Amino acid sequence: MERNGRLLLALDTGSEQVALALYDGQVVGEFFYDAGREHTATVLPSIQRLLEASRRRVEEISAVAVTTGPGSFNGLRVGMSIAKALCYALDVPLIGVLTLDALAYPHTALGYPIRAFVPAGRGRVVYADYRRAGAEWTRESLLRSARVEDLTAGLIARTVLAGALAPEHERLLGQHPSVIVPAPSLRQLRAAWVAELAYRRWRAGESDPVAALEPIYVHGGGSATVPSVQLPESYDVRSGQE
């Protein structure tokens, strides 16, 4: 994607691992760290460190992207609050990105269906399914909850599992004949993936109402309905074009 000089800040704070990125059509800088439960105290200083390391100033930020969940209640709340505060202070647009969309995005180039998931506590996950529809990828509107060990239920076609797994669950689920389990480094959410999806929307003139955007929480055995969406392919291996 070509650079256009407009700088977007992307935040993912929906788990103990916080991810931040600066993006202007390409990754300007990226930062990832384990915040534990210290999101409130660490996210803003980490944004400042990222800006300094990238030799950019906060005044150069022209848009802010934030993951909307599902995820940790406290983490999502902190990230959303900081993103909104920056948008109000800088008078810039806000773009929300469903966490599951960002997890699925880098795997679209493989061409297989994708099941993206995030932890939901007590040994459960929340997941969504993605399938190719022509040149785009469509996410089902229903987010479902399941036990981690049941994440492969109903899978017949070869399917990529996109999300962080404990080693024991990686071994267990990887035995399923229809499952593709990418390397751990490809399953940990990167803020650069959030930034690319948000940047496409921003470049198309889209954004979300700052006051109205809220996190999505799904816990226990619950489910949630969100608008279905189409994702671009992360990379077209036939033409070499984004």
Summarised one tens digit per residue, pLDDT across range 99-138 is 999 999 999 989 999 999 999 888 999 999 999 887 778 8
* pLDDT mean across residues, the chain: 90
What is the domain-level CATH number for residue 137?
3.30.420.40
The reply to whether 157 and 134 lie within a common domain is yes
Where residue 242 falls among pLDDT bands split at 50, 70, 90?
very low
Residues 185-196 pLDDT 10s: 898 999 999 999
State pTM to two decimals.
Answer: 0.91
Question: Could you tell me the residue range of the domain that residue 136 belongs to?
Answer: 100-187
The reply to whether 165 and 108 lie within a common domain is yes
User: In the chain, how many domains are there?
Assistant: 2
User: Does 87 fall in a domain?
Assistant: yes
User: Does 108 fall in a domain?
Assistant: yes
Cα 71 to Cα 2, 126, 161, 170: the distances in Å are 32, 9, 17, 20
Residues 45-91 pLDDT 10s: 999 999 999 999 999 999 999 999 999 999 999 999 999 999 999 99
The reply to whether 63 and 22 lie within a common domain is yes
User: Does 224 fall in a domain?
Assistant: no
User: Does 85 fall in a domain?
Assistant: yes
User: Does 236 fall in a domain?
Assistant: no
Residue-level pLDDT at 1: 61
